[in-house]
Amino acid sequence: MRTSPFAVNLRHACSTRRSVSEICRELGINRQQFNRYVSGEAVPSAHNLARIAAFFGVRPADFSLDPLLFEQHLASPSGSVFESDALRACFPGNLQALRRHLGYYQTYHVSLSWPGRIVCSCARLDEADGLVRVKSIERIQDRPHEIRQFSKYAGLAAWLRNRIFVVERSAGDEPMIAETILTPFETHQRVYLKGMTMGVSWRKEHLPYASRVIWRYLGPDTDRRALLSRCGVLLPNSRHLPPMVREFFDGGDLATLTISPRAGVGPDSDARSRG
């Protein structure tokens, strides 16, 4: 039985990397299933084919080329054609690892827009069409300044190099992009995800910022009304903060890292936010 050009070309592409196991980890594709692609026993779905092609820097259709021609394409890809595909191929990364983190979260971060306070928001990770979607909501009421804020964000999550990458876009006519990088659950700790978040401030001249963030897992389902009711701006010693969250922000260092048009780069406890 004649082996298909796809299987031959995939085997050659794999030979340019350290190991098939590493390729599977980076792509988030089951090793057993990937072996069936390599042996020619099965062909990937259009979605998986696009991810595999982007990973190796070629077009999906290139895998159907004559093997000698494919080797030439693989050795000297045009590059710019594949940049957007290469980024999309990062999502979801290791889907199996991400599935352990699907569900609802109460999130906490330090904000440029609310100096000396902690912003409590909420987020949800769910799986659809082979991707892990992220939806976040910030609801803030600042009665002394008569400010009411309700912001929505939507994006994707990826598991790469044992980290969770969350990229979100804000809703509205003038959207922005925010990125959060989180450390995954540990063996004996499956409640908190800790990391850093980065975005731009809406109250401080759209200054870019970075700050610490911690997500508290509430399970695959939760009381959504209660989830929203807990959102807002809190003092660092608020009784509404879980002990682990207070400990995470303990020490009084609630500064964010930002860029001042006049003062350069440095910590700024008077500025931020996605919020």
pLDDT in tens, 119-147: 999 999 999 888 899 999 999 877 766 77
The C-alpha atoms of residue 25 and residue 95 are separated, in whole angstroms, by 10
The C-alpha atoms of residue 182 and residue 23 are separated, in whole angstroms, by 22
Residue 195 has pLDDT above 80, yes or no: yes
Give the 3-state secondary structure of residue 83.
helix
Residues in a beta bridge with 213: 109, 195
- The two tokens of residue 138 are 């910030």
The three-state (H, E, C) secondary structure of 182-251, written as one string? ECCCECCECCEEEEEEEEECCCCCCCEEEEEEEEEEEECCCCHHHHHHCCEEECCCCCCCCHHHHHHCCC
Q: Residues 197, 274: contact at Cβ < 8 Å?
A: yes
- The two tokens of residue 62 are 């290139």
Instruction: Identify the band that residue 268 occupies on the pLDDT scale cut at 50, 70 and 90.
Output: very low
Residues in a beta bridge with 142: 147
Q: What is the pLDDT of residue 262?
A: 57
Instruction: Identify the band that residue 271 occupies on the pLDDT scale cut at 50, 70 and 90.
Output: very low
Which range, of 81-90, 103-112, 165-174, 259-268, averages the lowest pLDDT? 259-268
Q: Residues 179, 197: contact at Cβ < 8 Å?
A: yes
Contacts of residue 215, defined as CB under 8 A and 6 or more positions apart, other chains included, come to 105, 106, 107, 108, 123, 182, 192, 193, 194
Q: Express as a percent the part of the chain with pLDDT over 70.
A: 86
Residue given tokens 């190796």 in the structure block: 56
Mean pLDDT value of segment 155-164 = 94
For residues 108 and 203, the model is more confident at 108
pLDDT digits (tens, 9 = 90+) for 168-194: 999 987 888 999 999 998 888 899 999
Residue 260 has pLDDT above 80, yes or no: no
Q: 19 phi and psi, to 5 degrees?
A: -160, 160
Domains detected in the chain: 5-89 (1.10.260), 97-268 (2.40.128)
pTM (global) more than 0.85: no
Residue given tokens 């499956």 in the structure block: 190
Instruction: Identify the band that residue 266 occupies on the pLDDT scale cut at 50, 70 and 90.
Output: very low
Q: What is the pLDDT of residue 252?
A: 52
Q: Which of 43, 130, 39, 147 is nearest to 93 (CA)?
A: 130
Instruction: Identify the band that residue 2 occupies on the pLDDT scale cut at 50, 70 and 90.
Output: low
Residue 270 has pLDDT above 50, yes or no: no
Instruction: Identify the band that residue 199 occupies on the pLDDT scale cut at 50, 70 and 90.
Output: confident
Q: What is the pLDDT of residue 42?
A: 93
Mean pLDDT value of segment 196-207 = 79
Residue 220 has pLDDT above 60, yes or no: yes
pLDDT digits (tens, 9 = 90+) for 47-74: 889 889 888 888 888 899 988 888 887 8
Q: Residues 105, 218: contact at Cβ < 8 Å?
A: yes
Distance of CA 33 to the CA centre of its chain: 25
